């Protein structure tokens, strides 16, 4: 079983989109989902907890993504593990595709989805920045900056 660890600091406004996408797969063997609310002062824990018993919510007082990821690892039950930012949307089919990529190539230690940066409606300096940023070798070849 795959575990999904979601560090969440004051993400009550957006975390529902991610959880709804993950939970849309009604399979009984769905992923183990752990939301770590770290130092939240909003309704993140309530929103996540309201998604039912397939989502486990852990609250910690420290507002630290690093700490939240470690706590999430302690509570996760499955492997492989996906670490997903609360403000992105990835669905159950996406999770299966990432896990399948790992299964096909045992030498891989990590995988990430393609990067999609929605720039419609952004000011031209923002669009220009991201056009250049996405061409950098470290960005093209690295796994960071995807939210997963």
Helix ranges, 54-144 (H) = 65-75, 92-104, 124-133, 137-141
Is 58 within 8 Å of 34 (Cβ atoms)? yes
Q: Does residue 80 have a cis bond before it (omega within 30 degrees)?
A: yes
pTM: 0.85
Residue 28 above 60 pLDDT?
Answer: no
Structural domains of the chain ordered from first start? 3-104 (3.90.550.10), 113-148 (no CATH)
Closest CA to 31 of 98, 77, 89, 88: 77
Neighbours of 82 (CB within 10 A): 23
Tokens of 56: 């486990």
In degrees and rounded to multiples of 5, residue 56 shows phi and psi of -100, 130
d(CA 101, CA 61): 35
Residue 16 above 90 pLDDT?
Answer: yes
Give the mean model confidence (pLDDT) for residues 38-60.
96
Give the mean model confidence (pLDDT) for residues 109-138.
88
The string of pLDDT tens digits covering residues 64-121 is 999 999 999 999 999 999 999 999 988 888 899 999 999 998 888 888 887 778 889 9
- Tokens 């030498």 belong to residue: 107
Higher pLDDT, 146 or 48: 48
Per-residue confidence (pLDDT) for residue 26, from 0 to 100: 61
Per-chain mean pLDDT for the chain: 91
Residue 29 above 80 pLDDT?
Answer: no
Per-residue confidence (pLDDT) for residue 30, from 0 to 100: 76
Residue 15 above 60 pLDDT?
Answer: yes
């Amino acid at each position: 079983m795959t575990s999904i660890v979601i560090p969440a600091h004051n993400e009550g406004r957006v975390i529902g989109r991610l959880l709804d996408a993950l939970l849309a797969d009604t399979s009984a063997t769905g992923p183990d989902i752990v939301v770590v609310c770290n130092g939240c002062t909003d309704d993140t824990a309530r929103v996540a907890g309201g998604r039912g018993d397939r989502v486990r919510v852990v609250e910690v007082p420290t507002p630290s993504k690093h700490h939240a990821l470690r706590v999430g690892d302690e509570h996760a039950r499955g492997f492989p593990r996906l670490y997903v930012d609360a403000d992105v949307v990835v669905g159950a089919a996406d999770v299966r595709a990432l896990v399948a990529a790992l299964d096909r190539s045992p030498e891989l230690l990590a995988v990430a989805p393609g990067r999609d940066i929605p720039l419609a409606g952004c000011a031209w300096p923002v669009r220009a920045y991201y056009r250049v940023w996405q061409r950098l070798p470290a960005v093209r070849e690295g796994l960071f900056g995807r939210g997963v």
